[in-house]
Amino acid sequence: MIRMIVHRLLIGVFVMWGAASLIFLVVRAAPGDPATVLLGPDATRSQLDQLHASLGLDRPLGAQYLSYLGDVCRLDFGESHWLGRPAMGAVLDRLPATIDLTVTATVIAVIVGLTLGMLAGARPGGLLDRVVSACTIALQSFPTFWIGIMLVLVFALTLRLLPSSGVGSPQHLVLPAVTLSFPFVAIIARLTRTSLAETMRESYIQTARSKGLTERQVLFGHALRNSLIPVVTVVGVQVGALVGGAVIVENVFAWPGLGSLVVEAVANRDYTVVQGATLLIAGIVVVLNLMADLLVAQLDPRIRTGAV
């Protein structure tokens, strides 16, 4: 168990290093120059050179990379020249809005997805199973932004039940969170269904029935917990995709979170904010993956005792 945690933490450090390096290269490979954006199209050559020097962009890429890694290790994410303040401060200001959005979406996805998956998987091939399967396939085949726009058309513009964008009240959270949750409802429902149907074919389920348990007792006493093990693993992995979906949803609904900040920062060629936000997200994903692993170990004694 302890070995597993240490192992996962080491992998986490490796992932963080990979994320830091990747984002460093990506922002620099993208077309456009921060100095040009900051100073405008009329800036002179010497003004640009001066700004490059003060941003450290005149040095060779390798040197920039090493000092960037050193700064990151000291949790120094640099000054944002665009916002004129420490980059991480700006990122952390936007974090709560994204947490509101993603946590709400996750809760919706877990509750709705597990319920649908259980209903479908308890009787594979039944009517409920076929209805749920059709719905989840439909949900998964539409892109997130399209679902968002459709929800806005129906609930905000036609029915006028909910605000279409912005923040200010819990109602504002509904449409973006629901939109973000949709693909995850589908993933969790399908996975739970498959896993539960598979578990119900296990030998030990027959054993449970041979003890005279009712189907409900078999389901809740033996099948459900075991069928959740692969679901938790995948949900942990999918959290990263959820954050990716948040970037799109925040921009569709003008939600002031990390996702919209990153898009604005990219438009302004602000490397420090993009790097800071990406590393923060990567860190959160690493921690959530570790939590999912711990939960799986909690559910499966074979992993807890190192048998698998």
Where on the chain is the footprint of another protein (CB under 8 A)? 202-204, 206-214, 217, 221-222, 225-226, 299-302, 305, 307
Interatomic CA distance for residues 175 and 99, integer angstroms: 15
Nearer to another protein by C-beta: 14 or 204? 204
Interatomic CA distance for residues 57 and 286, integer angstroms: 30
Q: What is the dihedral of CA 148, 151, 153, 155, to 10 degrees?
A: -140
Tell me the closest approach of the beta carbon of residue 231 to another protein, in angstroms. 14
| Distant-in-sequence, close-in-space partners of 63: CB < 8 Å, separation ≥ 6 | none
Nearer to another protein by C-beta: 72 or 208? 208
Nearer to another protein by C-beta: 54 or 207? 207
In this structure, what are the phi and psi dihedrals at residue 164, rounded to the nearest 5 degrees?
-85, -25
Tell me the closest approach of the beta carbon of residue 304 to another protein, in angstroms. 9
Nearer to another protein by C-beta: 104 or 227? 227
Tell me the closest approach of the beta carbon of residue 204 to another protein, in angstroms. 4
Interatomic CA distance for residues 225 and 302, integer angstroms: 14
Identify the CA nearest to 262 among candidates 99, 87, 145, 57: 87
- What is the token pair recorded at 23? 């984002």
Tell me the closest approach of the beta carbon of residue 122 to another protein, in angstroms. 13
Tell me the closest approach of the beta carbon of residue 220 to another protein, in angstroms. 13
Nearer to another protein by C-beta: 67 or 214? 214
Residue 194 one-letter amino acid: T
The answer to whether residues 133 and 119 touch, using CB atoms and an 8 Å cutoff, is: no
